[in-house]
């Protein structure tokens, strides 16, 4: 680690909104571990974050929910050094409490009125499409409602009137009594990766690296696993 | 009778209490000082103020009676109203303004516009049919308002100073046209005016409203002969005095006594025409029984004549020629002698 | 001609700055357009469906808002009743609500398990969520307050004496309202409709939450833009510009036509 | 007293239905509140910071919109110049733009690499993205058009003769505007400010895109609600209700006070 | 002289071209038919219409001159204007309305309100100080407008029908007060009015504007003696004829010849006072040199007198008593004989 002086100040971490609760919690423990340092978070969808960084917004670290957005930013030359995968995720089906329509697999989804899936460009949407294609399930567009991110996709079932949603396991585990989770077998499932990297224009390089190391390190990984993410490797 | 109304309206601190009967075909002129309640009366009759008490009956149909909980909405009263400030619709042309009433009463569009054009023509406004009110002069606007009210073929006509903004020529001719129309008009008509000439030309009867009350009513001749308030006297150009009569002596409030030729007793009004008041620079001799010395308060010039307002002890006006004013060297505050013949003081019970 | 003076320089400067502030971002968008792919982006089935749906839904919103909002505005402006200012505030609140929460609130009221939605579904079999009607409903919920507030304010400035004059000419209340009151407030009515329409056209959060994002049924243009934005910014910008162009044409032409129509 | 008639039944029915439509969803929200945790949810540092920031940003938006939007509205309403209807339409477009695209447009204009943002940063070192000023800017971009349109419409209904009368009494243009024009359009000014304020208060897409979602700096209440929705819907509803309550109080009290202040 | 103006204004199809000079302390009354351009003239002088050509100069200072590209804004002209429709500020009380001017000219708030109250008092409006204009009657509103214009202490006074809505009593007293104020008023003053009495009482000179042009000007006596248009003649209650004179013969356009006592030649105006026209039911004998048979067009009743409008060949009005009307059995369309003495026809060059 670098010397304490360079580890004080504030960094801004642009993070995908699915990381909201786990990163908020990690930020607090990071601040405790590094007195004088604070982490400010900027939670939004990965693509919004990418646009902001391309337009020169003063972020120090970018934690994306997909390798695609990260690739974008990287190709634009806005990332200094390499990127690391710090977490992974996999899909599940969430249905109404008690599974009234008896959904047990992706194929059963053709029975329902409306399925909520993330927009194709969002990482969860790309993954869901890949999974559906992999198991040869074709859903007509009139049965698909597109959620702009995982949470709003999930909310279409928990709050709204959609019958099923394909979301990340990490999100599916939070539904509680408002829904039931149907697991997707590994053979039909898809795994997505969460990359993190240093934004080139950062002025607090040392602190930013410290944060990345913290997320990749044991504390970070433990917290991510507790939040139902899969380990990075 | 056709319009029978007893109007009690309260507007904040102002109270109006007026009883009024107007026969079919009769025209009643309402006169009175500013703020007397004339417009309020018109609005109450039109249904724009609801009565606190009393009633309005037109052709035996009750239009408003708070005690019986009857109130007929303005649009069902068939009153033609000319408003003091015209209230022309700014978004409609003159023609459309006049056609509005017939259209509202279900006349077909073509007929309504035909009728509107006829009325505009009658009012000498044919050329303005396509103009919006903001393009009209004040007098033109007033004539449009008149045409608009008449075009509905109303049962009751309410005209609030319908000629105040007209020029002298238009005034005479509109007054005449209005007079003819009113003669032909079957229903009752109420005209508010400040001009005794209008009243004389148009109205059968006068109603003087002051401070929310009727202070006098009757034909022009009756009202002129026996004014009962300062306003009426001033309107008719007369001096009005109030006092106690003892035989042919009239004692004013300030103790001054005038000699009259009428035998009376008790509280009386006395009327003196200004032209019967003679002015002198020194004590006059001769027959006039009432002669006193006073000062000039104000001088109002009226072309070749002048009105000289005199101060205590008898505050009246004298009308003399402009030459007399200069001959007598009159100016405001100047001393002067005044005299009135006893026979030129008319006395009647208060 | 009444004197037409030049506006003071300071005011012109401020006005110009304001226009610049509002216009430069649009220019920025224009600069980003990839003109070569523009035509293809705009004529894709997804884009045309979304644009059509947006127009349909937003116009319905304006119609419904006029039909229901103007009476409410009139009652608020002209009649004194207990709780009037509360009702007025109530009518304003949907504007303040973050749209997504507005969508949640609509779900709670009109969703299949909602206060009114459950009986509606159980008795009539009507389901509003995931339907075009639901999209219109979401837009109306968010946009109608703009009409109500604008029209109410305008109604308060109308001089009642003109309405009284119309009444004495035999015009019933409805006729007075249509022939005197409405023409008088025409500029505000047009302005309010434009605000409502614009708000409805840009509506995103409430629609996506309540009505969902189903292509061809509830995917209005902002939703399509959002979907595109996540993946292909070019398409998103192209769609946004299409929205702007349509709005521009409609706003500019409608204004003159509408003002004329009401007055005649 | 001028006659006060009862409104026609049909109108009352429509108005009531409208109020119900707008109110039932709010009732639905109320029913969802977990009252036990409400106090804790509302007094968390995140919630109070977001609420404070929302109020600050939205009030700044209103102030800036009044300062810049009223002059523009005046110029649009009173002066005929070539391209006037284009300028008016330009001022309307930010309302139509999906807010997220509005945010992108703002980035293209005022981001560090934007048309104006780059010189601003290079010369003055001013960076608007991720700053509270940026949040105000995003809200102003989206909300100011509401003020401009409302005020312009109202200005068109003012009778110029009163302004002329004031001029002959020696009042310069500024004084005429302040003492005659503004009081005359006070209802619309208040309405327009309320619309602007409400729109700014609920603003989400443009803010999150242009200014970011940084707690204590740019995380206004709708953004906090969004973040809360990711985790805990209860908190999101509690925050929304706080927003509603604050709006209710401000709208109801401000209206009376403001109208009074302008007239006196 | 103090106000020197040559006003050319174009308003759509209407053109105004009026030259006007008013000395300090002088009052000029502008009269004319509705739509003649009086209000337009006032507005141009106040700076509310800009000139197309000509100039407005006050105290030697050019206020408007399009050829020199000079235009002084209304707020810098120090004109007190009373508008025909008052234009009171609806959101201010009467007191605040009157205080508006002084406040705008930099007087302190306390002083301005003090001054306003004084003016309201002078106008007899002390009780209405706290009322909004919608609570005022028409006449009260007009007086407030007058007070508001005077309270600014203007250099030039422009009054557009300042007394049209006043009641008879208030009218006389406001006319007098206004007259006194105008006497004390150092600057030039222009009063638009329809009432020759107002003009006589207030003005030194008359300017008659018809259809955008000055058709006549001069003192009241000059204008009365020699009217040059039908409007002026009607205003003064006179009959105006136009024709060619050959010695003491006057040939009208339709060929009718009248005998006069004035030797003249060429195009002339001839004036006959209505009371000098005698009416008979059968051909009269006696001295009058002009006697002809005609029909009655209209009868206007004026209290105890009536005006009888006669048809061809000499379309003039006769003024007779009401008794005469019934004695002669006059009605509209009735045949009648008319006669005028040659000495009662005044003839002067056109
Ligand atoms: N809405 C109102 N509220 C309170 N008082 C009012 C209202 N309208 C009029 N008044 C008062 O009622 C009185 C009568 O007013 P009204 O307009 O009837 O007088 P008017 O006889 O028509 O006078 P004018 O000849 O000047 O037109 C006035 O003192 C006026 O101030
Ligand atoms: N804004 C305008 N545009 C076009 N024509 C106008 C406009 N304003 C007035 N006019 C016309 O100009 C003429 C003169 O109007 P003005 O108001 O000066 O008459 P006026 O002499 O004051 O009449 P009145 O005695 O009725 O008040 C009228 O014919 C009127 O129709
Ligand atoms: Mg009146
Ligand atoms: Mg005029």
Which residues does residue B31 pair with via DSSP β-bridges, in sequence order? B208
Number of domains within chain D? 1
C-alpha to C-alpha distance for E212 and D16, rounded to whole angstroms: 57
Average of pLDDT values for D63-75? 93
Show the tokens assigned to A200.
């080139």
Q: Which residue did the predictor score with more confidence, A174 or D58?
A: D58
Span D101-145, pLDDT tens digits: 888 889 889 988 888 888 888 888 888 888 999 999 999 999 999
Tell me the average pLDDT across E61-77: 91
C118 in reach of chain D (CB within 8 A): no
Q: Is B13 on the interface with E (CB under 8 A)?
A: no
Number of Cβ atoms within 10 Å of the Cβ of D79: 15
What is the C-alpha separation between D256 and D194, in angstroms, rounded?
A: 13
Residue B350 has pLDDT above 80, yes or no: no
> Is residue C223 a contact partner of residue C50, using CB atoms and an 8 Å limit?
yes
| pLDDT confidence of residue C1 | 39
First-to-final CA distance of chain D: 24
Cα A166 from chain centroid (whole Å): 14
Would you call C255 helix, strand, or coil by DSSP? helix
pLDDT at position E303, please? Answer: 64
For chain A, helix (H) and strand (E) counts, in that order, are 8, 9
User: Could you say which of D162, D167, D175 has the minimum Cβ distance to residue E73?
Assistant: D167
Distances (CA, A) of D17 to C67, C80, D10, D12, D22: 11, 19, 11, 8, 9
Asked whether the domain spanning E239-349 has the same topology as the one spanning E3-234, the reply is no
Q: Is the pLDDT of residue E16 over 90?
A: yes
**Least-confidence region, from B246-260, C40-54, E31-45:** B246-260
pLDDT at E44: 94
| Per-residue pLDDT tens over the stretch E177-196 | 777 767 767 789 999 988 77
Closest ligand to residue E31's CA: 2
Q: Is the CB of B282 under 6 A from ligand 1?
A: no
Give the tens place of pLDDT for each residue, A104-161.
999 999 989 899 998 887 888 889 999 999 999 999 988 899 888 888 888 888 888 8
Q: Does domain E239-349 have CATH number 2.40.50.100?
A: yes
Q: For domain E3-234, which architecture applies?
A: 3-Layer(aba) Sandwich (3.40)
**pLDDT of E218-246, one tens digit each?**
988 888 888 888 888 887 778 888 888 88
Is residue E288 left, alpha or beta, with left meaning phi > 0 and alpha meaning psi from -120 to 50?
A: beta
Where is C95: in which H helix or E strand? helix C84-96
Atom of ligand 1 nearest to the CA of E142: 26
| Domain coordinates in residue numbering, chain E | 3-234, 239-349
Model pLDDT for residues C149-170, shown as the tens digit of each residue: 889 888 887 888 889 999 999 8
**Backbone φ, ψ for residue C4 (5° rounding):** -110, 105
Q: Which amino acid residue places its CA nearest to atom 8 of ligand 2?
A: B135
Q: Is B41 helix (H, G, I), strand (E, B) or coil?
A: helix
A45 to chain C: closest CA residue: C230
Q: Are D262 and D183 in contact (CB under 8 A)?
A: yes
Q: What is the DSSP string of B106-119?
A: T--HHHHHHHHHHH
The per-residue pLDDT for C96 is 78
Average pLDDT over residues E277-302: 79
Distance, CA of C152 to CA of D195 (rounded, Å): 13
Which stretches of chain C drop beneath a pLDDT of 70? 1-5, 230-231, 254-264
Closest Cα to atom 19 of ligand 1? B35
Three-state secondary-structure class, residue E347: strand
Query: Who among D28, D150, D191 is closest to C109 (CB)?
Result: D28
Confidence band for E169, pLDDT divided at 50, 70 and 90:
low
Ligand 3 centre from E112 Cα, in Å?
Answer: 29
Q: Which residues of D touch E78 (CB under 8 A)?
A: 170
D3 to B10: CB separation less than 8 angstroms, yes or no:
no
Percent of chain E with pLDDT over 70: 95
Of the candidates A212, A230, A18, the one whose C-alpha atom is nearest the C-alpha of residue A122 is: A18
**Is the distance from the beta carbon of residue B2 to the nearest atom of ligand 1 less than 6 Å?**
no
Pair D190, D259: CB distance under 8 Å: yes
The residue segments making up the domain with residue D77 are 37-263
C-beta separation of B63 from B47 below 8 A: yes
Average pLDDT, chain B: 86
The residue whose two tokens read 């235009």 is: E71
The two three-digit tokens of residue E82, written as one number: 């009373």
- So what's the pLDDT on residue B222? 86
**B72 touches C at CB < 8 Å:** no
Is residue E85's pLDDT more than 80? no
Q: Which atom of ligand 2 is nearest to the CA of E36?
A: 21
Tell how far the Cα of B39 is from the centroid of ligand 3, in angstroms: 4
Does residue C18 belong to any structural domain of this protein? Answer: no
User: What angle do helix axes E138-150 and E109-122 make, rounded to 10 degrees?
Assistant: 130
Which residue bears the tokens 């009409």? C147
Is the Cβ of B78 closer than 8 Å to some Cβ of chain C?
Answer: yes
Q: Considering only CA atoms, which residue is closest to atom 31 of ligand 1? A: E136
Q: Note the pLDDT of residue C263.
A: 44
User: Where does the pLDDT of residue E165 fall: very low under 50, low under 70, confident under 90, or very high at 90 and above?
Assistant: low
Mapping DSSP to helix (H, G, I), strand (E, B) and coil, where does residue B271 land? strand
* Smallest CA–CA distance from C183 into chain D, residue: D157
Q: Which long-range contacts link C1-10 to residues 24+ away (Cβ below 8 Å)?
A: C1/E10, C1/E11, C1/E49, C1/E50, C2/D160, C2/E48, C2/E49, C3/E47, C3/E48, C3/E49, C3/E50, C3/E71, C4/D79, C4/D80, C5/D173, C5/E73, C6/D79, C7/D74, C7/D75, C7/D78, C7/D79, C8/D173, C8/D174
Cis, peptide link before residue B313, omega less than 30° from 0: yes
- Rounded to whole angstroms, the Cα distance separating E56 from E21 reads 10
What residues does E244 pair with on adjacent strands? E251, E267
Question: Pairing relation of β-strands E27-31 and E189-192?
Answer: parallel
With a 6 Å cutoff on the Cβ, whether B35 touches ligand 1 is yes
Beta carbons within 8 Å of E235's beta carbon, 6+ residues apart: B168, B169, E31, E196, E227
Give me the phi and psi of C87, to 5 degrees please.
Answer: -60, -40
Give the residue from A167, A65, A151, A66 showing the smallest Cα distance to A115: A167
Is residue B158 within 8 Å of residue B190, measured between CB atoms? yes
Which protein residue's CA is at the shortest distance from atom 12 of ligand 2? E14
C-alpha to C-alpha distance for A94 and A109, rounded to whole angstroms: 11
- How many degrees, rounded to 5, is the angle at CA C217 between CA C212 and CA C219? 55
| pLDDT of B41 | 95
Q: Chain centroid to CA E319: how far?
A: 23
Gyration radius (Cα) of chain E, Å: 24
Which contiguous run of DSSP H or E holds residue E8?
strand E3-11
CATH number at residue D223: 1.10.3720.10
In a domain, D124, yes or no: yes
Q: For D167-196, write each residue's pLDDT tens digit.
A: 999 888 888 888 899 888 888 888 889 889
Task: Give the nearest partner residue to B83 out of C165, C172, C176, using CB atoms.
Answer: C165
D to E CB pairs, distance under 8 Å:
65
Task: Spell out which chain C residues touch chain B, with contact meaning CB-CB distance below 8 angstroms.
Answer: 161-162, 164-173, 175-176, 179-180, 183-184, 186, 263
Residues A191-201: tens digit of each pLDDT = 999 999 999 98
What's the whole-number mean pLDDT along residues B300-325?
A: 81
Inter-residue long-range contacts of B207-211, CB under 8 Å, 24+ positions, other chains counted:
B207/B18, B207/B20, B207/B28, B207/B29, B207/B30, B207/B31, B208/B30, B208/B31, B208/B32, B208/B232, B209/B18, B209/B30, B209/B31, B209/B32, B209/B36, B209/B37, B209/B38, B209/B41, B210/B32, B210/B33, B210/B36, B211/B36, B211/B37
Helices (H) and strands (E) in chain C, counts: 15, 0
pLDDT tens for each residue of B262-295: 888 888 898 888 888 888 888 877 666 788 888 8
Which tokens go with B332?
Answer: 């405001």
**Sheet containing strand E79-82, strands side by side:** E70-71, E61-65, E53-58, E3-11, E14-22, E213-218, E205-210, E27-31, E189-192, E156-160, E79-82
- Cβ-Cβ contacts under 8 Å between C and E: the total is 12
Given an 8 Å threshold on Cβ–Cβ distance, is A56 in contact with D111?
A: yes
Residue A168 vs residues A102, A116, A127, A151: alpha-carbon distances, Å: 20, 12, 9, 9
Residues B195-209 have a mean pLDDT of: 84
Per the prediction, chain E carries an average pLDDT of 85
3-class SS at E36?
coil
Q: Identify the chains in contact with A, defined as 3+ C-beta pairs within 8 A.
A: C, D
Using pLDDT thresholds of 50, 70 and 90, give the confidence band for residue D213. Answer: confident
For the cut 50, the answer to whether the pLDDT of residue D1 exceeds it is no
pTM reported for the whole predicted model: 0.79
């Amino acid at each position: 680690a670098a010397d304490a002086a360079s580890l004080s100040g504030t960094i801004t971490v642009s993070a995908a909104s699915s990381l909201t609760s786990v990163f908020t919690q990690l930020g607090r423990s990071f601040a405790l571990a590094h007195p004088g340092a604070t982490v400010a978070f900027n939670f939004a969808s990965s693509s919004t974050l990418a646009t902001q960084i391309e337009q020169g917004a003063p972020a120090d670290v970018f934690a994306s929910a997909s390798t695609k957005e990260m690739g974008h930013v990287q190709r634009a030359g806005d990332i200094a050094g390499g990127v690391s995968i710090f977490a992974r995720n996999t899909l599940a089906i969430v249905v109404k409490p008690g599974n009234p329509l008896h959904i047990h697999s992706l194929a059963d989804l053709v029975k329902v009125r409306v399925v909520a899936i993330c927009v194709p460009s969002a990482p969860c949407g790309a993954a869901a499409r890949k999974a559906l294609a992999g198991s040869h399930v074709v859903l007509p567009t009139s049965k698909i409602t597109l959620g702009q991110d995982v949470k709003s996709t999930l909310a279409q079932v928990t709050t709204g009137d959609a019958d099923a949603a394909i979301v990340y396991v990490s999100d599916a585990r939070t539904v509680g009594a408002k829904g039931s989770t149907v697991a997707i077998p590994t053979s039909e499932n898809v795994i997505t990766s969460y990359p993190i990297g240093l934004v080139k224009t950062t002025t607090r390089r040392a602190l930013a690296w410290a944060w990345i190391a913290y997320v990749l390190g044991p504390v970070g990984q433990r917290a991510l696993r507790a939040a139902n993410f899969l380990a990075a490797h | 009778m056709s319009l029978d109304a007893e109007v009690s309206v309260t507007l904040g601190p102002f109270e109006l209490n007026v009883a009024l009967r107007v026969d079919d075909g009769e025209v009643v002129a309402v006169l009175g000082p500013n703020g007397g309640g004339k417009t309020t009366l018109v609005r109450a009759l039109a249904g724009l103020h609801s009565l606190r008490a009393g009633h309005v009956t037109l052709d035996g149909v009750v239009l408003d009676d708070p005690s019986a909980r009857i109130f007929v909405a303005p649009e069902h009263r068939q009153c033609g109203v000319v408003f003091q400030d015209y209230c022309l619709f700014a978004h409609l042309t003159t023609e459309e303004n006049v056609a509005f009433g017939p259209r509202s009463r279900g006349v077909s569009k073509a007929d309504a516009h035909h009728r509107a054009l006829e009325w505009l023509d009658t009012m000498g406004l044919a050329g303005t049919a396509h103009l919006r009110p903001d393009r009209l002069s004040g007098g033109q606007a007033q004539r449009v308002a008149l045409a608009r009210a008449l075009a509905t073929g109303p049962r009751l006509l309410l005209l609030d100073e319908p000629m105040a903004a007209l020029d002298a020529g238009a005034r005479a001719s509109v007054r005449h046209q209005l007079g003819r129309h009113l003669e032909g008009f079957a229903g009752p008509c109420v005209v508010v005016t400040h001009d005794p000439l209008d009243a004389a030309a148009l109205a059968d009867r006068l109603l003087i409203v002051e401070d929310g009350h009727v202070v006098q009513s009757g034909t022009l001749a009756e009202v002129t002969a026996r004014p009962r308030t300062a306003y009426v006297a001033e309107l008719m150009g007369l001096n009005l005095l109030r006092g106690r009569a003892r035989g042919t002596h009239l004692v004013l409030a300030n103790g001054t006594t005038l000699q009259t030729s009428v035998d009376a007793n008790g509280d009386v009004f006395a009327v003196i025409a200004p032209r019967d008041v003679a002015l002198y620079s020194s004590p006059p001799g001769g027959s006039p029984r009432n002669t006193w010395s006073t000062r000039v308060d104000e001088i109002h010039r009226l072309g070749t004549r002048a009105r000289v307002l005199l101060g205590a002890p008898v505050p009246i006006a004298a009308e003399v020629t402009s030459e007399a004013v200069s001959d007598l060297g009159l100016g405001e505050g100047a001393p002067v002698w005044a005299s009135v013949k006893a026979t030129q003081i008319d006395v009647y019970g208060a | 001609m009444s004197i037409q003076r030049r506006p003071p320089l300071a005011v012109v400067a401020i006005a110009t700055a304001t226009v610049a502030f509002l216009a430069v971002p649009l220019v920025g968008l224009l600069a980003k357009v990839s003109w070569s792919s523009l035509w293809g982006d705009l004529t894709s089935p997804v884009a045309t469906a979304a644009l059509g749906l947006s127009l349909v839904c937003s116009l319905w919103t304006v119609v419904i808002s006029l039909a229901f909002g103007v009476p409410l505005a009139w009652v608020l402006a002209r009649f004194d009743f207990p709780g009037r200012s509360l009702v007025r505030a109530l009518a304003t609140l949907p504007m303040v609500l973050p749209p997504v929460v507005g969508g949640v609130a609509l779900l709670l009221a009109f969703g299949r398990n909602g206060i009114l939605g459950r009986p509606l579904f159980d008795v009539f079999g009507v389901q509003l969520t995931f339907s075009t009607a639901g999209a219109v409903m979401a837009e109306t919920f968010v946009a109608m307050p703009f009409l109500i507030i604008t029209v109410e304010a305008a109604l308060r400035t109308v001089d009642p004496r003109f309405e009284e004059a119309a009444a004495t000419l035999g015009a019933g209340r409805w006729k007075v309202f249509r022939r005197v009151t409405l023409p008088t407030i025409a500029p505000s009515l047009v302005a309010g409709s434009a605000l409502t329409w614009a708000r409805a056209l840009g509506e995103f959060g409430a629609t996506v939450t309540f009505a969902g994002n189903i292509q061809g049924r509830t995917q209005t243009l902002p939703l399509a833009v959002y979907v595109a934005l996540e993946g292909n910014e070019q398409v998103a910008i192209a769609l946004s510009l299409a929205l702007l162009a349509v709005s521009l044409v409609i706003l500019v032409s409608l204004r003159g036509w509408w003002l004329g129509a009401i007055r005649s």
